[in-house]
Amino acid sequence: MPACKRCGNCCTTAFFADRAVPLPGDPQELARWWAYHHCEPMAYPSPDGSLCLGVKVPLVCRHLTNRRGVFSCAIYETRPKVCQSYFCPEVRNGAGL
């Protein structure tokens, strides 16, 4: 299994999705929404296969430590289950090697 890059990206944003909000088909609508809310809109696949609106919010975890550019979790052993189940897309795609 590829190793964590210790970049901290996993703990510097939060992702929220709402299955009740269909993804607008117009890219300009997404750009407008992004400009108004300062959040990165994303397509989120719902269980039925349709795409819904999700957002990536800049939100740094208070337990993220940074020592000379090397990030780590100060509560790693007792971190929440959502953190335990997170699998970095960069590591998953082999970029963490």
| Predicted pLDDT at 97 | 39
Q: Own/partner pairs for 31-34, CB < 8 Å, 24+ apart?
A: none
pLDDT in tens, 45-85: 777 877 777 788 888 999 999 999 899 999 989 999 888 88
What are the C-alpha distances in Å from 25 to residues 1, 3, 29, 32, 33?
37, 37, 8, 13, 13
- Count H helices, E strands: the chain? 3, 5
CB 30 within 8 A of CB 24: yes
| Predicted pLDDT at 62 | 95
Question: What band does 96 get if pLDDT is binned at 50, 70 and 90?
Answer: very low
Say what the pTM is: 0.60
